[in-house]
Amino acid sequence: MVLKEISPIENKPLTMEELPDPVPGPKQILIRVSACGICHTELDEIEGRLPPKLPIVLGHQIVGRVERSGPGATRFASGDRVGIAWIHSACGKCHFCNEGRENLCSEFRGTGCHAQGGYAQYTVVSEDFAYLIPQRFSDAEATPLLCAGAIGYRDLILSGMRKGQTLGLFGFGASAHIVVQIAKYWGCEVFVFTRGEEHRILAKKLGASWTGRPEDEPPRKLHCAIDFTPVGETVPQALRVLEKGGRLVLAVIRKRNPIPPLDYANLLWDEKEIKSVANITRKDALEFLHLAAEIPIISEVQEFKLEEANRALLLLKQGRIQGAGMLRMQEELKNM
Ligand SMILES: [Zn+2]
Ligand SMILES: [Zn+2]
């Protein structure tokens, strides 16, 4: 499914195309994709808030099997089940890369944004940017671990949350439904703020001790909060219920509408902090995949066929996906 031009998702801009099979270059592996998750970042790409390099095959939560290795690639055997996340490559030489902050590298390339992604039967990646998938997860269950989960894990680390503290989650989609499980596992109390009644039910099921709407008053103030929503209004709403000295983490790459003016005295004073999150590192993905198998994370996945990508992304935009959305590659397409 190829994106050729920027357009609202309502116009169904992804089209089914026949492309030549990619060839793995030096140190790269060719992967036969079995499933690929969908993500809000893809809506940002499609609608131009985060313009990709066109034409592009989107998708950065890829699970598949190694078909063959390019020259000099030795890490994986053919048939190994691997995943690819948002980080497709970084320069490996700059001070960010040397400090383990490759997510901030100025040559950071995103999968399905600056390099071809996983809304396809085949894709290639450097073997250094692929991860073995823990056995306990099916292909479908593993897809949201690679972005929603790995980025959610990074959000949680950056929130500075400590055992016994209270965490607020604003929005309850693919990432939050995994983060609530990690936070519970780490002994924290989780409050979930979301408009959707169905999302509140799922949040309770996965361990939230209180749920409400973003404008509601939680039973206690939040030591930290993560805002997963694509709208600006949740920023003052989260700051309003944040404890003194608390930190609010903004998880999305782009907000769809502006953050309203913030009343300094009421919302920001008392040493409150706001921190954004940019991309992920390989370490985030590796650590999180290990943790996910240990907990183990239950991923709630709604499946679509590859050719239904436009519809799946429209449902995501409308907040109508429960848990995480995922595209399944069709068996019969494999030999087309
Ligand atoms: Zn993503
Ligand atoms: Zn770098």
- Ligand 2 centroid, distance to 110 Cα (angstroms): 13
Write out the H or E segment, with its range, that includes residue 15: strand 14-15
Q: How many whole angstroms from 86 Cα to the centroid of ligand 1?
A: 6
Distance 266 CA to ligand 1 centre (A): 33
Q: What is the pLDDT of residue 253?
A: 86
Residue 321 CA, ligand 1 centroid: distance in Å: 15
H/E stretch holding 275: strand 273-276
| Low-confidence spans in the chain with pLDDT less than 70 | 330-336
Cα separation of the two ends of the chain = 14
Q: Is 162 exposed, middle or buried (0-12, 13-18, 19+ CB in 10 A)?
A: exposed
**Which ligand has the minimum distance to the alpha carbon of residue 98?**
2
- Is this prediction's pTM over 0.85? yes
294 exposed, middle or buried (CB, 10 Å; 0-12, 13-18, 19+)?
Answer: exposed
Q: What are phi and psi of 212, to 5 degrees?
A: -165, -170
Smallest-distance ligand from the CA of 93: 2
Q: Which ligand is nearest to the CA of 102?
A: 2
The predicted structure's pLDDT at residue 12:
98
Predicted confidence at residue 254, as pLDDT, reads 87
How many angstroms is it from 171 CA to the middle of ligand 1?
Answer: 15
pLDDT at 331: 59
Q: Is 7 exposed, middle or buried (0-12, 13-18, 19+ CB in 10 A)?
A: middle
State the pLDDT at residue 13. Answer: 98
Distance from the CA of 264 to the center of ligand 1, in angstroms? 32
Dihedral over alpha carbons 221, 227, 231, 233 (to 10 degrees)? 20
